[in-house]
Amino acid sequence: MRRRHPSTFQIFVVRDRDMLKFIFGKAPTEVRQFLADFRSEVEKALLLPVELNIYDTQFFAKEDGSLDFSSTSSCFQLVGRESYDLNDMQSLLQDPNNSELDQIYIKYNVQAVQRCALTIAKAEASWTQLWVLVLAAFIGIAAFGAGITTCCLYSGDASKRINEAAEKKDMVGFIAAQIMLEGVEKSMGREKIACRRSAENC
């Protein structure tokens, strides 16, 4: 029977904001050729039981979003028995007392060590932008008030027209009734006259 040997795997979930990056003064094609040697020498210079995991090599992206095709950025993370945050990694990799590490940076043309995730600067609103916002709000309020006023005027005018139409209708009905009454009175008067004449003839 074959014996089964258990295997242990370590899975690291890494985000850009949890990593740093080396900025090399060379193109990515050149950096990839010596990246393994660079990693090994940095691990030895740190004098700690850590591993330097380098994840990608690409053209260096500046803060304004433009690419520097003569430079390379490589995001990385230090992994060891202890967990290292960004401040710990920066203090280890930018130690002014570690001359061996400085020599490695000079040898491989490392220009800087920065955070891997780009920091988004908060835009401050200028006075012009504030005035534009105030003006837009004023125009919106004025338009809303004008709409309400127009609706009220239209509603009042419509009610006035309805009342006038009702008054005219009542007046027409009253005149028609009066005309009918006058016609009845005239016909009754004619009948009385006819009766008198017939009585005189008799």
Say if residue 105 is in the same domain as residue 154: no
Q: How many domains does the chain have?
A: 2
Position 140, amino acid: G
Distant-in-sequence, close-in-space partners of 109: CB < 8 Å, separation ≥ 6: 24, 25, 26
Say if residue 94 is in the same domain as residue 139: no
CATH (domain of 64): 3.30.70
Asked if the structure places residue 94 within a domain, the reply is yes
Grouping H, G, I as helix, E, B as strand and the rest as coil, residue 80 is strand
Q: What is the maximum span of the chain, computed from C-alpha positions, in angstroms?
A: 157
Grouping H, G, I as helix, E, B as strand and the rest as coil, residue 154 is helix
Alpha helices in 94-126 (DSSP H): 99-107
Range of weakest confidence among 76-85, 113-122, 178-187: 178-187
Tell whether the model's pLDDT for residue 105 goes beyond 60: yes
Asked if the structure places residue 6 within a domain, the reply is no
pTM across the whole model: 0.51
Say if residue 78 is in the same domain as residue 56: yes
- Count CA within 13 A, CB hemisphere, residue 49: 4
Report d(CA 129, CA 186) in Å as an integer.
85
Asked if the structure places residue 76 within a domain, the reply is yes
pLDDT at 47: 85
Helix (H) or strand (E) holding 72: strand 67-80
Query: In the chain, pLDDT over 90 holds for what percent of residues?
Result: 24
Domain end call among 115, 133, 152: 115
pLDDT at 122: 43
Report d(CA 26, CA 42) in Å as an integer.
18
Tell whether the model's pLDDT for residue 108 goes beyond 80: yes
Say if residue 30 is in the same domain as residue 108: yes
Say if residue 62 is in the same domain as residue 152: no
Domain end call among 57, 89, 115: 115
Q: Which domain holds residue 40?
A: 16-115
Q: Tell me the pLDDT band of 72, cut-offs 50, 70 and 90.
A: very high
Say if residue 87 is in the same domain as residue 161: no
Asked if the structure places residue 129 within a domain, the reply is yes
Say if residue 24 is in the same domain as residue 71: yes
Report d(CA 201, CA 142) in Å as an integer.
89
Q: Tell me the pLDDT band of 85, cut-offs 50, 70 and 90.
A: confident
Say if residue 159 is in the same domain as residue 200: yes
Range of weakest confidence among 25-29, 84-88, 107-111, 192-196: 192-196
Q: Under a CB-based contact definition with an 8 Å cutoff, are residues 118 and 61 in contact?
A: yes
The predicted model gives 6-24 an average pLDDT of 70
Tell whether the model's pLDDT for residue 164 goes beyond 80: no
Domain end call among 80, 97, 115: 115
